[in-house]
Structure 1
Amino acid sequence: MYTHQKDIITAGVPVAEAKRAIIFIHGRGASAADILSLNNHLKIEEAALFAPQATSHSWYPYSFMAPVKDNQPALDSALSLIRGLVSDIEKAGIPQEQIYFIGFSQGACLTLEYITRHAARYGGAVAFTGGLIGKEINMQNYKGNFKQMPVLITTGDPDPHVPVSRVEVSEGIMKKMNANVTVKIYSGRPHTITKMEIELAKKLVLNF
């Protein structure tokens, strides 16, 4: 089992000059550079971009639907790394409501888990194929109020890693915590990010 080293790739506008920040969280087996290249399609401008790199290219060893204890200590280490990055961005002068999250697959699950454990009015979050983490959902982990923060969750039906049922449970929990959640399920879509999802993310969450 492993913990994560702090290894953050940056792009876009220098944080000292930026009005907003985007945190990109990559999927299993991928890299920070891979997920940052998504911005070639999103075309986010005038923002500081951050992408943490998971040690061993994986945020936690097993499925996000495995018992949480099986994914420790890697999961807690990953959540702590994100929390530290958010804190660093705020210290650099970017307010919480101008910090956005974008994750894919394992990174989408980590994104949703992080923001729901620290619910607040961030700028918004996009989870390309993800859900809250754990074999059972532990509601004691989730605290705070999203204050109508926009969240987009997408998935395929069926998806080999993320069941639609978990996406729907995640949506319900986040809505109860006052998030403005949109779920989009694409029949037969492979485990990837499509142009349609990118356009939806730009319209619903990243409408700068």
Structure 2
Amino acid sequence: MVELDGPRRGPLNGGTPDALVVLVHGLGADGDDLIDLAGVWAPAVPGAAFVAPHAPERIEGLPNGRQWFALWDRSEAQLRAGVQAGAAALGAFVAAEAERLSIPPDRVALMGFSQGAMTVLEAGLRGAVPDAACVLAYSGGMIGGDALLDEIVARPAVLLVHGEDDEVVPAAASRAAAAAMEAAGVPVRALFRPGLGHGLDDVGLAAGAQVLHGLLKGA
């Protein structure tokens, strides 16, 4: 398995990290695309370390483009296999990073955008990162949501945020994911943003900060 790496930011308070927030980028980006969210969310969790791993697979023709799983074949079987592999790679990285920083597994938060959102939902609910405190999934969805009830391993708090005008991943993907998670007993909140396309906005980021603060703010 490819060993992942990516940019990191230390705790805002300058102390020893007491939590870890893992930022998982989308298709065609890399960890540098999301690491600046550390500056946005650090005030909510001043003791947290942030890391944004680069996905394991390079995309031909894009010098800095990476992917958690390939989309050349979008059949259900291939997508399931791809997201499982991407989640496994992420899980190994998160476990190693948490151990390196001496952070308990239940003090880890996963955040993902687009393909990264699909990957963190897979990892956080189906066991690659089994004890995460929360999963924040932006502009994504869940691959294999119909099978979640039979396959779920963990039930972290989940926030879904999606633009109603998303032209890349329809908001219906997060609506279906929310329904699947509710049926499986996952504490999920879904926030749909009118007028927002495939991106992040201040309201969605504020909602993420609120979740992080509530679960990881420390003593």
**Range into which the TM-score falls when normalised by the shorter chain:** 0.7 to 0.9
Structure 1 length normalisation: TM-score? 0.82
Q: Any conservation in 1 of the 2:25–2:33 contact (CA below 8 Å)?
A: yes
Match of 2:8 among 7, 10, 31: 10
What are the equivalent positions in structure 2 for 1:104-115 lying under 5 Å apart?
A: 104-115=113-124
Partner of 2:151: 142
Q: Any conservation in 2 of the 1:20–1:47 contact (CA below 8 Å)?
A: yes
Could you say if the C-alpha distance between residues 61 and 120 of structure 1 is closer, same or farther in structure 2, counting changes exceeding 3 Å? closer
State the aligned residue count: 200
Q: Does 1:170 align with 2:187?
A: no
What are the equivalent positions in structure 2 for 1:1-208 lying under 5 Å apart?
A: 4-13=2-11, 17-43=16-42, 44-54=45-55, 55-56=57-58, 57-62=66-71, 66-71=74-79, 74-92=82-100, 93-118=102-127, 120-134=130-144, 137-139=146-148, 142-146=151-155, 149-207=156-214, 208=217
Structure 2 length normalisation: TM-score? 0.79
Give 3-state SS (helix, strand or coil) of 2:196's partner. coil
Kindly provide the amino acid, as one letter, of the partner of residue 49 in structure 1.
F
* Deviation string, structure 1 residues 153-182 (Cα, Å, up to 9, x no partner): 011123222223321221122233332211
Note the C-alpha offset of 1:5: 4.6
Q: Any conservation in 2 of the 1:116–1:174 contact (CA below 8 Å)?
A: no
Note the C-alpha offset of 1:140: 7.2
Kindly provide the amino acid, as one letter, of the partner of residue 180 in structure 2.
I
Partner of 2:61: none
Mark the runs of 5 or more structure 2 residues left unpaired by the alignment. 59-65
Give 3-state SS (helix, strand or coil) of 2:8's partner. strand
CA distance in 1, matches of 2:205, 2:72: 25
Kindly provide the amino acid, as one letter, of the partner of residue 82 in structure 1.
L
Q: Any conservation in 2 of the 1:112–1:130 contact (CA below 8 Å)?
A: no
* Deviation string, structure 1 residues 78-136 (Cα, Å, up to 9, x no partner): 211111023214433211210001111111111112112128552211111111115x7
Kindly provide the amino acid, as one letter, of the partner of residue 18 in structure 1.
P
Note the C-alpha offset of 1:69: 3.5
Mark the runs of 5 or more structure 1 residues left unpaired by the alignment. none
CA RMSD of the aligned region, Å? 2.7
Identity level (%) = 20
CA distance in 2, matches of 1:5, 1:77: 13
